[in-house]
Amino acid sequence: MATRQHYFSQPDTVEQVKNRLFKQLAYYCLGLHCLLLVLFWYCDITILAMVNVGSVIAWAVGIMLLYEHKSHLALRLFCVEVTLHSIFVCAVLGMGYGFQYYLWTIASLILLDYQLKLKIASALALLLILTFAALFELFGSVQDSFVLSHLAPYIHFINVLICALPSIYTIGHIREVTFSNRYQLAQLAAKDPLTSLFNRRYAKELIKNAQENCVNTSQQLTIVMADIDHFKGINDKYGHDIGDDVLIEVALKIKHHTLHSDIAVRWGGEEFLLVFVNCDLETAQARIESLRREIETHTFNADALQVTMSFGIAQWHPALPFRMAIKLADDALYISKTQGRNRTTSAPSKTVQST
């Protein structure tokens, strides 16, 4: 069912697209019933002409409901109209013209009424299909005197197309929006919204997988803790908006210096965690020094701000709990901070192996 998170919340993307598609469908059906009204009136089938007058009114009211963002009420009105229209036309003309197939279309669309519980919507769809089957039993032998009866096979074919197109068009568009939303939700679950680096929760899952891969392939794993120097002073002096801009630019520099297999994480605040896969300590030191120098020489906030970073590096080994490797990298980062910042410190490999 659709949910509203706040008084000022707008309908979600799927609901907006669904409402737009229903408007297009409603205008499509409104025009179709206007044509049928003229056709039945011309063929002197007064009762069906009057039925289509009611159909035109129903679809017009439904369009008004859609503009009031009451798509669930509009869809239920359309459901009633299509059912009654199909019954009346089949009762008068028989089954040879294909008007019964409109029940299939509305049966599929009623499932898009998110205000209904799935069981109720499914039951209504099933009831419409049963109505479709019952029409053959009730009106299968009706003999009509329609002046266009010689065109019945062509009218039947046209009605099948008319019924199929709205379902394919509407459900196809909603399918695309749903897939797009799934991707966006996956990104929100995995990425930090400000920097687009992995968030801490999702990164833990990636790190666990990377550890298992390194154990299985005998590859090395290097941990880097990084921190922006004097970041609180940047926020205090320039404001949090500029601070956010610094975080974004630093994150871009970090991405530039990481490989596809590496894991770059916004660990918290101005602190970052980097996990280099299949990378030894010496190589990691060289890569981090390159990153540190690039940030040091980069100008932020339109050349008005210089930013530096401190780093701590530690090598992970399968016998070492990962939290201990992070602690060693964090301790190395602390040494970088106490020794003047803007530097890289590596935990001694002997310490890592013996811890």
Give the contacts of 246 (CB within 8 A, at least 6 positions apart): 228, 231, 234, 300, 301, 305, 307
CB atoms near residue 3 (< 10 Å): 7
Q: How many CA atoms lie within 13 A of 228 on its CB side?
A: 27
81, 212, 270, 282: the catalytic one is: 270
Alpha carbon separation from 191 to 60, 199, 321 (Å, rounded):
45, 5, 25
Active site residue 270: yes
Alpha carbon separation from 150 to 94, 160, 190 (Å, rounded):
14, 18, 62
Cα radius of gyration rounded to whole Å, the chain? 33
Q: How far apart are CA 314 and CA 275, in angstroms?
A: 10
Q: How many CA atoms lie within 13 A of 85 on its CB side?
A: 29
SS (H, E, C) 70-83: CHHHHHHHHHHHHH
Give the contacts of 298 (CB within 8 A, at least 6 positions apart): 249, 253, 307
Pairing, β 221-228 against β 309-316: antiparallel
Q: In 3D, which of 85, 120, 98, 125 has the Cα closest to residue 109?
A: 125
Q: Give me the active site residues, please.
A: 270
